[in-house]
Every structure is written in C-alpha cells, then in structure tokens.
Structure 1
Amino acid sequence: MSATKSPSQVILAPFSGKTVELTAVPDPVFAEKLTGDGLAIELSSDTVLAPCDGVISLFFDTKHAFAITTDDGIQILVHVGLDSIILNGEGITALKESGDRVTAGTPILKIDMDVFEKNSINMISPVLVVNYDKVTELTPCRPGCDVAAGSDEVLQYAIAI
C-alpha cells in the first residue's frame, strides 16, 4: 500500500525581493542543503514576516534567523542575510519571540537596512524546510522572480499522510 500525500502546503515570501536558487547561494552550508532545502530571496524590504502559520520554535539570540514549526510538523527556517550573525543582533528588532503562535504574514523582525548596508551584509536570505526528509514534494518558485512579502508563494510542499 502506498502512502498518500497531503494536499500542497504553501510558504509565503517572508520578505520582498528577487528569488535565488538555493544551489547558487554563495555559502556552502546553504548551497549544499546542509541545513535544509528551499530557496533564497535577495531581501529588499525591512520587515520579515511569518511565511506560514505555526509556532516560533527557534529564535536565535542574534535574531538573524528563526524557525516556525507548522501544525503538520514541518519546520521552516528563515535566515536574514548570509553573514548577519556578525552583527550580533544589531540592526534587527524582534517583534515576536520563541513560543509565539503566528499566522502567515505576521511581522516577526524589523531590519535596519542602513546597519546591514554599512556592515556590507549579503542580503541573500535562505528560506528552508529544515526537516525536508518528512516532505514528499518540495517545489520552490523559479529563480529570478520578484516576490512580495506576505502575498507571493515561494515554496510548495506535500507530506506523506
């Protein structure tokens, strides 16, 4: 008997920008999918939104990344900029905290773009399904698309049920 799959679930763009294929990200941890599979977006907006409904299950002290676990157990990681960890939280304001239940489109972080620019932070920002071994299909939108925060779908996935 074969497993049936769930209807497609969608992940919205957590920020506005241009999509980048994950394998093209200039950081081997992301390009080689060591932390998950998905895509990246070259961030161009100063507010980071929840890409899906769920609970904030991980929030780095440096505020450069957070994860939301959906009700179906899929963990979505949003990483803001490639090397933003060096800022140690400077220029990033948390609007929510670990344990908060959020809906897609809820503001999670506010970014001070001037601080990122002054520190030459690479704005390529991965959006990943961390536990993609639980996913039967994962479809990112194609590279080079302009996406709008909170409204454009950037990933679709299905899980075995």
Structure 2
Amino acid sequence: MTAEKNKYQVLAPVSGKTLELDSVPDPVFAEKLTGDGLAIEMESDTVLAPCDGVISLFFETKHAFAITTDEGIQILVHVGLDSIILNGEGLTALKHAGDRVTAGTPVIKADMDVLKKHSINMISPVLVVNFDQVSELCPCNAGTAVTAGTDEVLQYAV
C-alpha cells in the first residue's frame, strides 16, 4: 500500500515569461547549485510571496529571499540575476525575515527604472532550495506568460 503524496503549488512571485533553469545565463542557477525550479523574465515591479510560510532568509541587499513552508520546504526567489551589485538600491523590502506570509503577499517593491538604468538582467529564478526533500518537482512549461500571485509555476510533492 502506497501513501498518497501531498502536493503543493508555488505561485509566480512576479509577472513575466517563464524559462527553463538550464537556459539561465548564470551557471549557479543553470547547474542547479542553489536549487531546482525555473526562472521568470520579470516584468512587474512588485515581488510577491510564492507560497505560505515564514520568510526564513532575507538578504540585506534585498536581491533575494526564501520562504520556508510549514512542511519544511524552502522556496527561494531571486530578483534579477545580478541585482546584488546594487547593494539594495532600487529594491524596497516590504516584509522581513521572521514574518509569516501567505501566497500573494507583497515582499519587495522594485524600482524598474533604477534596475534598467544599471542594466540588471531581469531573469528571476524561483527555486526549491532543498529539492532533495521533495519527491516530485514539476515546473510549468518554458515560454508561459504568468501573472504574479495568480498562476502556478511549480508543483512539488513531499
């Protein structure tokens, strides 16, 4: 007798078009060194919580945060590929480490003009950091236009 797996969804934290992780022009993400998932070419200026949980990591530079779900799965959202070089400029934290959030809660506000001025690559990875703890991980198809807080981009089972 097999136990029914619990399935969970991760919503798009930003609006844009999805990409396969291996097509991201950064080996840290393309080679899944920080997790498995997909990326979104960010078009919206508000980054939302992709799932329910607690913000377990929030970089001082505001370029990335992670949410740990009640099941212990850590979801990382990285805002643009090289936004860390701005040292927080153009990114405003709306939540902080330790805050409990629900999917769709605004977490970061991005000043798109500042990011464009500095030629930041807006490809934004969405990863399951501890993907070794999930039994299935299914990203949506590459090239899909997704809306932040509405469309499912990843589904996983534990």
Give the TM interval when normalised to the shorter protein.
Answer: over 0.9
What does 1:82-93 correspond to in 2, within 5 Å?
Answer: 82-93=81-92
What does 1:2-151 correspond to in 2, within 5 Å?
Answer: 4-151=3-150
Distance 1:134 1:144 in 2: 27
| Contact 1:58–1:98 (Cα < 8 Å) also in 2 | yes
Distance 1:139 1:53 in 2: 18
Partner SS state of residue 55, structure 1: strand
When the two chains are superposed, the root-mean-square deviation of aligned CA atoms in Å is 0.9
Distance 1:8 1:142 in 2: 18
Partner SS state of residue 114, structure 2: helix
Percent identical residues: 77
Partner SS state of residue 73, structure 1: coil
Distance 1:138 1:102 in 2: 22
The alignment's TM-score, normalised by the length of structure 1, stands at 0.96
Gaps of 5+ in 2: none
Task: Quote the offset at 1:47 in angstroms.
Answer: 0.1
Gaps of 5+ in 1: none
Task: Quote the offset at 1:88 in angstroms.
Answer: 0.2
Q: 1:7-39 deviations in whole A, cap 9, x for unaligned?
A: 210000001000000000000000000000000
Task: Quote the offset at 1:6 in angstroms.
Answer: 2.6
Amino acid of the structure 1 residue aligned with 2:87:
N
Task: Quote the offset at 1:5 in angstroms.
Answer: 5.0
| Contact 1:5–1:158 (Cα < 8 Å) also in 2 | no
Q: 1:94-149 deviations in whole A, cap 9, x for unaligned?
A: 00000000000000000000000000000000000000000000000000000000
Amino acid of the structure 2 residue aligned with 1:11:
V
Partner SS state of residue 19, structure 1: strand
Q: 1:67-111 deviations in whole A, cap 9, x for unaligned?
A: 000000000000000000000000000000000000000000000
